[in-house]
Structure 1
Amino acid sequence: MRQFFKKIILISLFSFYFFQIEKVKSIVPYYYLPTKKNLQKQGLDIGKNAHHLLYFGRYEDSLNLAKLAVKINAKDEKLWLILAEAQIANEQYKNALSSLNKAEQINSKISEVYFAKSNIYLRISQQAKAKIALEKGLKIEPNNHRAIFQLGNILLMEKNYLRAIKLFEKSVKIKPDFWQAINNQGLAYFEKNNVNLSIKLFESAISIQENAEPLLGLASCVRINNTKLAIHLAKKALAKDPKYVNYDYRKEQLWGEKLQASTEILLQNEQLKQDVILAKSKIIESS
């Protein structure tokens, strides 16, 4: 009750004051000024929405939202990372590198910044810079199996097969079912003329996931000693992914010259003629 009477007195004392305020409000509109904390939350919420849109393939919408997020809160490195991801999806690589540099300036201890940079550098064929970025990221997160695998891929491109193999092995130790790293060991060993070990590695990759790449790799390995099996494996590989009929596509997947030569001989087999024609026609249809 005492509080009630206090309120009555206050209202009486300030009634004239509030009357004047209302007059001012009729001339000057009232604006809500969000706090710094609210702005940060709004920026992060918008950034999350931008990130979600990427997974639905709405790249342009994602980019616009991500730009808005960093305008609201330019001091959050996570938002710059989201913007960079949206820029990569929209093939704006130079802008993405700029966004990643800003994220790095805010926090240089985030491995994702360097891994994202390496991804961009690989897309624009700057392998040396990609390698440096990966190495920086791995100093922060040394057990990232995908980053180790990617560094191994760069060494595979450089034909540094022994170092590439060691990195693929390290990646598999961290994630034993990482069939891609097992497969790429097979690619490397074939170029080192260790066909028997390549066979074992391709078989191991297939046991985890029956993917077209190890299937065709294994087919190319056994084509001399077991033509029937090689034909069977090649048919299955081309049915799963027709793109592997293409020499340039296999090169993009880091197939070396020796394995490429063996595969080209295999695909010229008369028993694969219709499969090769069908695979090429599917590629044309999908382009």
Structure 2
Amino acid sequence: MSMSARSQALVPYTPKKDPKSLEDTSKILLRQAAGLVQFQQYEQAIPRVALATQLAPKSHEAWFFLGSLYVQTQKYQRGIDALLQAKAIKPQDPDILFMLGSAYFQKGELPQAIDTLQAGLKIKPDNNSALFDLGNAYYKSNKYADAIAQYQKAVKKDPKFWPAINNIGLVNYETGDINGAMQNWQRAIAIDPKAAEPVLAMAVALFAQGKQVEAFTTAEKAITLDSRYANIQYLKDNLWGDKLLNDTRKLIQTPRVREFITKAPVRG
């Protein structure tokens, strides 16, 4: 026996699994991953879902799940790549388009986010989260009128959807309509008094108007509700614009608020 023949003889035989068996294994992996996700164990879930996509490459559900996990763990380009695979299999699935649009937005690819979210809303126009995301994409693109239009659609469908009302206030403030901004933040607070964001925004607006005492007590209330809102980067991540951020810095740099922040319990 030659060496080459001997090597060939030693290669183990691997039986080929039929497609049904591979698909069943893929479903088991997806169920396992879903269990991990319930406990926010996203990193542990990803390898299982990635393997599921290899075993069942024509499953749009597996690719969608994988893309969602990557987006959740801020691996946006990987998420986009996986979601594009899902979209190629099922191009008219609005949930795939909405998640893909969200991934584009979080990666900062605003034109792609707008186009993708619009495509999804043509199929499923009543999705409030997508309307809100589209409003945010317009807002980040400085298309303020378009942003407000989408936020208002979201509020019309759900009058208690305070994040959209809050963000109308953000747009108002950036465009110089402080009174309009304050009215919208008051509406948001009336819906959810424990929402720290509109409370702090109100404090900033009051401070900008020279109402220091009221501004201080309102800011302290907001920081007590959620101390993350004392962090400028966190506010920026939540789409606070330059004008509002500049006025926020002035408020939180005052001795009274600065001292309160250092003593405030971490909440949020």
- 2-structure distance, mates of 1:103, 1:221: 45
- 2-structure distance, mates of 1:194, 1:35: 61
Aligned to 1:198: 181
Contact persistence 1:195–1:221 (CA under 8 A): yes
Q: Per the alignment, do residues 50 and 102 of structure 1 end up closer, same or farther by CA in structure 2, a change over 3 Å counting?
A: same
For residue 218 of structure 1, what is the amino acid of its counterpart?
Answer: M
- 2-structure distance, mates of 1:158, 1:35: 46
For residue 190 of structure 2, what is the amino acid of its counterpart?
Answer: S
Aligned to 2:206: 222
> How far is the alpha carbon of 1:179 from its aligned partner?
1.0
Q: Is it true that 1:58 corresponds to 2:41 in the alignment?
A: yes
Contact persistence 1:51–1:82 (CA under 8 A): no
Unaligned runs of 5+ in 2: 1-14
- 1-structure distance, mates of 2:175, 2:78: 40
TM-score between both structures, scaled by the size of structure 2: 0.83
Q: Per the alignment, do residues 92 and 201 of structure 1 end up closer, same or farther by CA in structure 2, a change over 3 Å counting?
A: closer
- 2-structure distance, mates of 1:35, 1:251: 48
Unaligned runs of 5+ in 1: 1-30
Q: Per the alignment, do residues 97 and 269 of structure 1 end up closer, same or farther by CA in structure 2, a change over 3 Å counting?
A: closer
Contact persistence 2:226–2:266 (CA under 8 A): no
Q: How does 1:237-256 map to 2 (within 5 A)?
A: 237-256=222-241
Q: Per the alignment, do residues 156 and 76 of structure 1 end up closer, same or farther by CA in structure 2, a change over 3 Å counting?
A: same
Structure number with greater Rg is: 1
Q: How does 1:73-152 map to 2 (within 5 A)?
A: 73-152=56-135
- 1-structure distance, mates of 2:67, 2:242: 35
Aligned to 1:3: none
> How far is the alpha carbon of 1:181 from its aligned partner?
0.6
For residue 34 of structure 2, what is the amino acid of its counterpart?
Answer: H
Aligned to 2:221: 236
Match of 2:139 among 151, 156, 174: 156
Q: String of CA shifts for 1:179-238, please: whole Å, max 9, x gaps.
A: 111100111111222222211211111122222210111111222253322111100112
For residue 134 of structure 1, what is the amino acid of its counterpart?
Answer: L
RMSD: 2.7
TM-score between both structures, scaled by the size of structure 1: 0.78
Farther-moved stretch of structure 1 (85-94 vs 114-123): 85-94
For residue 235 of structure 1, what is the amino acid of its counterpart?
Answer: E
Contact persistence 1:186–1:198 (CA under 8 A): yes
Q: Is it true that 1:207 corresponds to 2:193 in the alignment?
A: no
> How far is the alpha carbon of 1:103 from its aligned partner?
1.2
- 1-structure distance, mates of 2:73, 2:171: 33
Contact persistence 2:80–2:104 (CA under 8 A): no
Aligned to 1:271: 256
Match of 1:174 among 128, 146, 157: 157
Farther-moved stretch of structure 1 (146-155 vs 193-202): 193-202
- 1-structure distance, mates of 2:210, 2:239: 25
For residue 130 of structure 1, what is the amino acid of its counterpart?
Answer: A
> How far is the alpha carbon of 1:94 from its aligned partner?
3.2
> How far is the alpha carbon of 1:90 from its aligned partner?
4.4
Contact persistence 1:149–1:168 (CA under 8 A): yes
Q: Per the alignment, do residues 102 and 33 of structure 1 end up closer, same or farther by CA in structure 2, a change over 3 Å counting?
A: closer
- 2-structure distance, mates of 1:125, 1:82: 22
